A and B are shown apart, each in its own frame.
Chain A
Amino acid sequence: MKRIVAFVFLFAFMNSWSQSAKTADSLGKVLRQRNLPKEERLMLLIDRAYHHQNIDTSLFLAKRALQIATELNKPVQQARAWEEIGHVERRLGNNDVSLQASLNALRIYESLQLPERQAASYAQLGSNSISDNDYISAIAYLKKAKLIYQNSDNTLNQVLTTLNLGEAYRLVGYMDSAATCFKETLKRNEQLQNDIVQGYSSGNLGMVYSVQSEFATAKELLTEAISILRNLGDDYSTSVYLAALGEIYQKEKKWDLAEEKLREALDMATTAGLKEQIRDFSAQLASLYEIQGRFSDALYYQKKYQIYQDSLVNKASIKKIEQLKSSYEIDKRETEISALNRINSYQKNTLISLVAGICLFIYLSYLLFKGNKTIKKANIDLSDQKLIIANREREKALLLKELNHRVKNNLQMIASLLNLQSRELTGHPAQEAIIAGKNRVEALSLVHSKLYQEGVETRIYLKEYIEELVLGLFHGYNIGFEPDFDIAHISISVDKAVPLALIINEIVINSLKYAYDGIKNPNLKVKVDETNTDLKIEISDNGIGFSKQEGEKNNSFGIKLITSLIQQLDGSIERTNRNGTLWTMKLKPV
């Protein structure tokens, strides 16, 4: 019964909600496009806050809008945001905050001299004051609103404001002023023909007359209001007026009618789930039955009254809890948003570093790939070259082998030719010269056969070589005793080996040919050793001694050969007679 005017106000102010929801969604979509300029964004935020069904979200959006409006220094938008905050806070039950917000809005409108908006603010403040049971303030605000609307041509707003003013008068008990207001609205509505205005005006006026005990007029007006509002499906108002009608009947002691109206009102309230009304009507019914002495019914309704009273008290506490919850939710949301912003910026940084990293990685991969390719190519070239070199090496080795083969074959051929020729000259003095030549060739050949037996070795071992050379000569001259060898394991280069071979050949042949005439235990010794300074070769026999030999004369070519060759070797040779002949050669070590 008390809240009726507030309802009227809300009905006028907050129109279609389903449409609002859609609007809010589409606005949300637009808002999410981040590149909007701030001003546009601001307008959208305000609209969205206005249309949003979720109170918490609305509040958040409105606050955000306020912030942006302040930043941009847009007073109208600031005021609108304040206004919106006022609405939302009221819906949340934070009346003080709501009042403060609305006053802020009003102040801005005043300074901007926007009468229409001022009036709306006053109307809102008034309506809020009614809700807070502060009827005196409500009357003051509504009067100001009405004054402004009187100068404007917005009749509906003027009528609605007058209606609310009337209600405020009625509630504070100024029944005459209230009646004046309602009569005015009824009169004005003759032009507007608004059913709602008609319904409320007559209903409220009826209630005024009821207080003034003009029951007949009151009943008439209330019945009219009920019929109008019932058609409009306004259960709340209808049930309130029904209960008022029931109260009149009670006062007239028309118990049956009173009971009927009250029960109808209660049923309607129950169906519509209007708890406060159920409580009030139950209390009325309880007192009605009490007067009639129907105590059991009275008790039943008294209990019902009690239940609803308790539930409504609960409702208040629940509301309080909800309030706390929602403020907590908002806090949480703000924290979340700032956290999200942080994450967002962090992600942005991460993304940037990631992209940079990927670019760097790709670049490095490319470098690596390129480097690899170069290396591969170089490797291929290298292996090609290696192959060519290897082939050349093989060819070289093959050629060398072939060359060696030919050298050896030819040396053999020369030796064989000399040998064959010497046989033809048996008994001829030239035979000896030919054989000497053959021996020299064979000495050379031996160097080659020792040298080129394996690989491309250019050094030969003296021991092996000298032994074979001397043994060969012993065999050739059919010598019956064995030579002595004492040869160190020394290798020399082929350049030195050939002249040395020829020298040894000459000396040994000389001994074998001339030294052992009449010697009983002939021997021949070859000794080679190496000191730090030189290579020393000694060839000794126990023969007849050189001076007595005819050899010097006979083999003068051999001696010449020895002298020339030792010169070639940069060495020295010395012959001494000591129980035979001792040849001592000294060469530079090699």
Chain B
Amino acid sequence: MTNQASKVKLLIVEDEILLANDIANRLSDNNYTIVGIADTAIKALDFLSKNQDIDMVLIDIILKGDRDGIELARIINDTYNIPFLFLTSHADSYLIERAKSVRPYAYLLKPFNDRQVSIAIELALKNFAIKMPEKQILGQKTFLPTENQVLQIKDSLFLKKSQHFERVPIEEILFLEADSNYCTVYTRTDRFMYSVGLNKIEAQLPPDRFLRIHRSYVVNINLVDGFEGNMLFIGENKLPVSKSHKENVFRLFRTI
């Protein structure tokens, strides 16, 4: 359906291999990519160092080996700027206190079902985007409002599409087109349609790289190939520049 690049990449750290496989299957069904399964903290760190594009780590608190999940989480916090969530069957207050100290972005309590797994991943992404560790371990959790989420994490936008997030690297975005309540993101290779207003996505984009040229268009300045009259060329597409934005736009493209 979607290409691999747009998928959110996950690492699972869990010493019950069957369980890990099950989770991997469930997440794959939800269009997440499982980069790998590690059964110890050491292996997990090895994975992370070799795969810099991992978006999130799912960590079981109890792990075999010298280091447990919480210690692994601490190292991830110190070394990698990526979100993680804890997987545990414990609601033991001592363990929870320790877990809280490394500021996880979500908790997934065993036994879980598909829904709980998906919610936990979403929550972790969202909390990481707004830099807010999860405080609530128990209690009811629901999905974020569907089709309405745009998260910027590192150099990518995370756009929610049918109960999962898709990743779009910002540098690959050519332009965005608004169409009533929908918005289409054009990349070099693909296009994504979202039921989110253009303004909402624009707000998540770095302002020095994207520019509004029209009520319905926002373009990536770096990828503009040329212009002719009131039209900008980006890739194969020709986009109109409105009068109100004209001055702003053409100030950037000085004619030689």
Contacts and interface: CB of A to CB of B under 8 A. Distances in A.
A431 B150 CA distance: 37
B237 interface: no
Given A401-B92, A420-B21, A412 B110 contact: yes
B247 interface: no
B111 A446 contact: yes
Interface stretch (B98-106, B112-120, B181-189, B200-208): B112-120
A74 interface: no
Contact of B113 (A404, A417, A475): A475
Chain B's interface size range is 20 to 34
Interface in A395-443: 401, 404-405, 408-409, 411-413, 415-417, 419-420, 423, 442
Contact of A412 (B92, B111, B142, B163): B111
Nearest to A443: B113
A442 B22 CA distance: 14
Given A419-B25, A468-B140, A409 B114 contact: no
B115 A475 contact: yes
A452 B116 contact: no
Contact of B22 (A408, A416, A475): A416
B177 to A, nearest CB: 26
B111 A411 contact: yes
A416 B19 contact: yes
A464 interface: yes
Interface residues of A, number: 30
B16 interface: yes
A257 B156 CA distance: 167
A412 B19 CA distance: 8
Contacts of A404: 89
A570 interface: no
B38 to A, nearest CB: 17
Nearest to A422: B25
Given A401-B92, A413-B16, A420 B110 contact: no
Interface in B1-56: 16, 18-19, 21-23, 25-26
Query: Which of B25, B90, B109, B110 has the largest count of A CB atoms less than 10 A from its CB?
Result: B110
B138 interface: yes
A445 interface: yes
Nearest to B110: A412
Nearest to A450: B138
Given A408-B111, A472-B113, A476-B114, A416 B18 contact: yes
A449 B18 contact: no
Interface string A16-33: 000000000000000000
Given A446-B111, A449-B109, A405 B22 contact: no
Contact of B116 (A401, A467, A472): A472
Contacts of A442: 111, 113
Given A405-B89, A453-B138, A467-B140, A448 B111 contact: yes
B132 interface: no
Contacts of A416: 18-19, 21-23
Nearest to A480: B162
Residue from B25, B92, B111, B116 with most neighbouring chain A CB atoms (10 Å): B111
B231 interface: no
A408 B87 CA distance: 12
A190 interface: no
B8 to A, nearest CB: 18
A216 interface: no
A467 B140 CA distance: 9
Contacts of A475: 113-115, 118, 163
Contacts of B118: 475
Nearest to A476: B114
Given A420-B25, A454-B91, A449 B115 contact: no
Given A416-B18, A448-B111, A409 B89 contact: yes
A471 B110 CA distance: 17
A423 B118 CA distance: 18
B115 to A, nearest CB: 4
B138 A454 contact: yes
Contact of A476 (B18, B22, B92, B115): B115
A156 B144 CA distance: 150
Nearest to A448: B111
A412 B108 CA distance: 12
A419 B140 contact: no
Contacts of A417: 18, 22
A476 B16 contact: no
Contacts of A412: 19, 89, 110-112
Contact of B110 (A409, A464, A467, A472): A409
B140 A415 contact: no
Interface string B136-150: 001010100000000
Contacts of A449: 109-112
Given A449-B109, A454-B91, A419 B22 contact: yes
Contacts of A474: 115
Nearest to A454: B91
Nearest to B29: A423
A92 to B, nearest CB: 106
Interface string A470-489: 01101110000000000000
19 contacts: A401-B90, A404-B89, A405-B89, A409-B89, A411-B111, A412-B19, A412-B89, A416-B19, A416-B21, A419-B22, A445-B111, A446-B113, A448-B111, A452-B91, A453-B91, A454-B91, A468-B140, A475-B163, A476-B115
Interface of B: 16, 18-19, 21-23, 25-26, 89-92, 109-116, 118, 138, 140, 142, 163
